Structure 1
Amino acid sequence: MHEYLLYINGEFVESGGKKTFDSINPFNQEVVARVALAGIEDTQRAVRAARKAFDEGPWTKMSKEERSALIKAVSDKINERKAELEQLEVEDSGSTIRKAKEDVHLSARAMNYFSKLAAMDTVEPVDGLSKPGFSQNFLVREPIGVVAAIIPWNFPLKMAVWKLGPALAAGNTVVLKPSELTPVTAMELAKIIHEVGFPPGVVNIIPGYGEDAGEELVRNPMVDKVSFTGSTAVGRRVMSLAAITLKKCTLECGGKSANIVLDDADLNLAVDGALYAIFYHQGQCCEAGTRLLLPEKIHDEFLNRMIEKTEKITLGDPNDMTTDMGPLISEKQRERVLVYIKSGIEQGAKVAIGGSVPQTPKLKKGFFVEPTIFTNVGNKMKIAREEIFGPVLSVIKYKTIEEAIGMANDSMYGLGGGVWSRDKEKAMAVAKQLRAGTVWINEWHLISEKAPFGGYKQSGVGREFGVEGLREYTETKHLHIDEVGVREKKFWYDTVVPKN
């Protein structure tokens, strides 16, 4: 069993009350790690450290190149320790080993990208405003200050990197709160950050509960920005608390993404793509393709092919390379998913496959739910409206593409969407009408640290990744430099100031 302390001000320390919690393997319910639990006072201590590091420490005085080198060193260390991190990600989150390998690789790649962003110019001319002999005008992008980063449990290492990378690249200091369900790889990241030599207080990592550590981070007046990923319900709470001190917020929240198949789609590609969209990581993805919109013309054939493929999906030990789907994160999450399945049945949807807990003896201790496909779903049903966060697909039949677009947009969410068609122009025309932050054509789930990611409507506020995501962690300053030089020529002063 692993043991982890809080990481505050460059030191690994116990919580103030010496409280701990156990992180549980969702496959066998064994204890993976005993972790120090950050309370309100610990959170305040971490914020003070981050504040001091920003206001007084060497971090903000470093050159862009020096900060870039430290971020790049984190990327290199992740690559050096990839086998260990992969294993910990499997044990702590229930990720399959195949997915964990991808996650660790992408985490290192993302940190490398953010190291390059750190070296970007932060001063640029204001187009059309500067005039020789009158003034020079520049746009200066400066770090916001102290960033509170709050991440969920579904992609522990990637989420930590996705928050820390751009915040540090912009020159901020950070307090990161990983989920209490999956703290392990974030705490290993703390070790890496310490090892490569970040100044004390620049990065602080404190596992804790949302109602204590999380809310204190959002409320604390010494925090300048909140970057949150999680449910829309909690996102609303974060936004309301941040409003008290008018903090800037980036909120990446829930989704109920619609996957539209056109009648000319390549079925071999679209069927596998639709399964990947919903069952990747057991459906525990904010952008999962949870609503599948099929035209009447190909509905039955498409559905039959999906059922046939779903029957072959292997549930099992996440460490086994032949396992396609692992367990859900917790018993609580499994019960939530089962309640939604029951709701679908009660409202008249038909279970085409799955719908229950597998009875295989070797899966007995794991928090498994069978991959589930509902047909005869109406777009107003609960299973088609609310984010389930599990392996549950709602198949909805449509007659016209206009109807499909209308149903896709008839949601409080707007995180992702997809269109499947052999005709790229037709697919583009549909994609442009979808009210979603990311739309894939003949693809799903491919998110890059180089492209902005975020949601329309109640799926969030702001964007992560890319240059646009980096700017979410900056303040914009207009710098005006006078070139007139003499009082007599500044006639605008005369509107107030006496000439004599």
Structure 2
Amino acid sequence: MSTVTEKAAVERQGVPHYRMFIGGEWVDSDEQYEVINPATEELVATAAKGTTAHADAAVAAAKRSFEEGVWRNTPPVERAAVLDRVLATLASRMDELAELGSRECGFPLRLSQAISVGFPLMHIQHFADLTRAYEWERPGPVTGQVLNAQLVRREPIGVCLGIVPWNFPLVLGAWKAIPALAAGNSVVIKVDEKTPTAQLELATMLREAGLPDGVYNVVTGDGETVGAHLVAHPDVRKVSFTGSTEVGREVMRTAAETIKKVTLELGGKGPNIVLDDADLDAAVDGSLYAFLLHAGQACESGTRLLLPTALHDEFVERLIARLKTLKIGNPLDAGTDIGPVMNAVQRDRILGYIERGKKEGATLAHGGTSPSGPGFEKGFWVEPTVFTDVTNDMCIAREEIFGPVLSVLRYDSVDEAIKIANDTEYGLSAGVWSQDVQRALDVARRLQAGSIWINDWHNISQHMPFGGYKQSGNGRELGPDALDEFTEEKAITIDLTGHVSRRAYGLVIGTPPATA
């Protein structure tokens, strides 16, 4: 394991080469990953390919920094000040990071400005504000005679591991790293090899902002080896994972061996219910937005559209007409609405689901293939695809496709719509469209999902908790209690009776003998 100097990336053969960040040093490896632009298949950067030895070194650095206590014992207001400085740097690099997000992840540029920079800015600001306002210690409840003083403290856990997926690397990485740091923990982040750069750039910002060495560490590596090794590591006390439900099960099983605290944000199959009194213009555009954000590569996408039978044909006609006005293409073109999917594996997986949908008897109403012609000679593309005549037992209605594919289902009563919506192993997101807010609220209260949007979608506010029901995960990120997931709660009780006879010792050791 060799170390090299100051920045996350150095030029190598005309492209940036990113190293890992371990114990305050930039660490390279013998092997490397290629980071590919999903729109052009051009090489964006290379990145060190980490091993389990790098993972061990990162955990050791984090554990050492936590035990030394330099960051853990830093007053919360000073920890928040470090985050403030990160915010200033992040804002100053908005254009650079937005373009990097487009080239690395395939975000259309205006979406990248929001996802790669805008959301991280808002969410990190929220975590900084929480750090200043958080009740780190509070009086305990008064019970019976006032004979005890009681305190409840919130303290950092230790080494916290965040495993970040490829679809929204900076914002999801911030959800895992920043509240953990705000609470005084030391952190190891395992990035996805397809989109490693954002967390490594964040490492430079944290270091420049004054974060002590060893408190924040970033490693790369294959999930099956490096990721699994980190989850099993006995010195990791908390795991925060975002990814598929299948891998989430493995994370939970592995973490159980050492009883780690675990937060899981997993898959989804969001039901989007249009009631018969919905504003159709808003509902049509909102339903497109629900399943097309980042070419459908979002776990809380609205991929099941539930329409009342009486409204079905008109709504589908309007939806497809609006869909035909959207531009698919180069993410760096400011007019692009929909970019590529992540890679060939993802493209082929999505196209495979489309074929399964046709074989199961669903009607392909729009799309269904990869676009061709000028601009699509290279890259990984899937047309926005709409299926009608879908029933809830079909695989395209039950399994997470993770692409721009919408399944349209009919219903004849609101009760039937709710039954269809809840008939899934997932419970991450749901939506309701109605001009009667109270009616929509009545439906929302009956849906089994962690986030429900009325007349909107993807409205992930830093002020609201985010997470899933059922096999969409456990725990919550964001919201007013975001730091709770990264702290341990300690109860301290002080006996104030002033005399041994007032205590309960006699229940075991009897009355003390009289003294002369």
**Pair in the same fold by TM > 0.5:** yes
Alignment of 1:59 onto 2:56: no
Runs of 4+ with >4 A deviation: none
1:127 Cα offset (Å): 3.0
Note the alpha carbon deviations across 1:378-416, whole angstroms, 9 max, x for none: 000000000000000000000111110000000000000
1:89 to 101, 123, 134: 101
1:353 to 361, 366, 385: 366
1:488 Cα offset (Å): 2.2
Structure 1 distance, partners of 2:429, 2:473, is: 12
Residue identity matched to 1:86 = A
1:130 Cα offset (Å): 7.9
Residue identity matched to 1:82 = M
CA contact (8 A) 1:350 1:376 kept: yes
Identical amino acids, percent of aligned pairs: 47
1:131 Cα offset (Å): 5.2
Structure 2 distance, partners of 1:494, 1:449, is: 52
Alignment of 1:316 onto 2:329: yes
1:57 Cα offset (Å): 3.9
Residue identity matched to 1:42 = H
Structure 1 distance, partners of 2:143, 2:229, is: 43
CA contact (8 A) 1:129 1:137 kept: no
Which residue does the alignment assign to 2:172?
A: 159
Structure 1 distance, partners of 2:153, 2:324, is: 56
Alignment of 1:13 onto 2:13: no
TM-score w.r.t. length of structure 2: 0.95
Structure 1 distance, partners of 2:143, 2:188, is: 38
Which residue does the alignment assign to 2:157?
A: 144
> What SS is found at the alignment partner of 1:91?
helix
Note the alpha carbon deviations across 1:184-206, whole angstroms, 9 max, x for none: 12211111112212101100011
Alignment of 1:50 onto 2:62: yes
Which residue does the alignment assign to 1:213?
A: 226
Gap runs ≥5 in structure 2:
1-14
1:235 Cα offset (Å): 0.3
Structure 1 distance, partners of 2:144, 2:57, is: 45
Which residue does the alignment assign to 2:345?
A: 332
CA contact (8 A) 1:349 1:374 kept: yes
Residue identity matched to 2:68 = E
Q: Which moved more, 1:480-489 or 1:376-385?
A: 480-489
Note the alpha carbon deviations across 1:261-291, whole angstroms, 9 max, x for none: 0001010110110000001110000000000
Which residue does the alignment assign to 2:10?
A: none
Structure 2 distance, partners of 1:126, 1:435, is: 34
Note the alpha carbon deviations across 1:303-356, whole angstroms, 9 max, x for none: 000000111111010000100000001110000000000000000001100000
1:13 Cα offset (Å): 1.2
CA contact (8 A) 2:73 2:184 kept: no
Structure 1 distance, partners of 2:401, 2:441, is: 28
Q: Which moved more, 1:172-181 or 1:122-131?
A: 122-131
> What SS is found at the alignment partner of 1:356?
coil
Structure 2 distance, partners of 1:397, 1:241, is: 41
Which residue does the alignment assign to 1:115?
A: 128
Structure 2 distance, partners of 1:129, 1:420, is: 48
Residue identity matched to 1:384 = A
1:363 Cα offset (Å): 1.4
1:468 Cα offset (Å): 2.4
Structure 1 distance, partners of 2:314, 2:502, is: 79
Which residue does the alignment assign to 1:105?
A: 118
Structure 1 distance, partners of 2:430, 2:118, is: 25
> What SS is found at the alignment partner of 2:17?
strand
> What SS is found at the alignment partner of 1:352?
strand
2:416 to 400, 403, 406: 403
Which residue does the alignment assign to 1:385?
A: 398
| Superposition map of 1:184-195 within 5 A | 184-195=197-208
Number of paired residues? 496
1:467 Cα offset (Å): 2.8
Residue identity matched to 1:292 = L
> What SS is found at the alignment partner of 2:491?
strand
> What SS is found at the alignment partner of 1:3?
strand
CA contact (8 A) 2:33 2:46 kept: yes
1:106 Cα offset (Å): 1.5
Which residue does the alignment assign to 1:424?
A: 437
2:268 to 224, 249, 255: 255
Alignment of 1:73 onto 2:85: yes
> What SS is found at the alignment partner of 1:361?
coil
Note the alpha carbon deviations across 1:4-47, whole angstroms, 9 max, x for none: 111000111113xx221111000111111111111100000000
Structure 2 distance, partners of 1:163, 1:75, is: 16
Alignment of 1:4 onto 2:18: yes
Which residue does the alignment assign to 2:258?
A: 245
Structure 2 distance, partners of 1:464, 1:169, is: 14
CA contact (8 A) 1:130 1:136 kept: no
Structure 2 distance, partners of 1:190, 1:29, is: 27
> What SS is found at the alignment partner of 2:402?
coil
CA contact (8 A) 2:102 2:332 kept: yes
Which residue does the alignment assign to 1:200?
A: 213
Q: Which moved more, 1:250-259 or 1:29-38?
A: 29-38
Structure 2 distance, partners of 1:402, 1:218, is: 42
Gap runs ≥5 in structure 1:
none
Q: Which moved more, 1:232-241 or 1:155-164?
A: 155-164
Residue identity matched to 1:213 = V
Q: 1:452 to 1:131 in 2, by over 3 A?
A: farther
Note the alpha carbon deviations across 1:463-500, whole angstroms, 9 max, x for none: 1112322201111111111111211222x211112321
CA contact (8 A) 2:65 2:215 kept: yes
CA contact (8 A) 1:130 1:137 kept: no
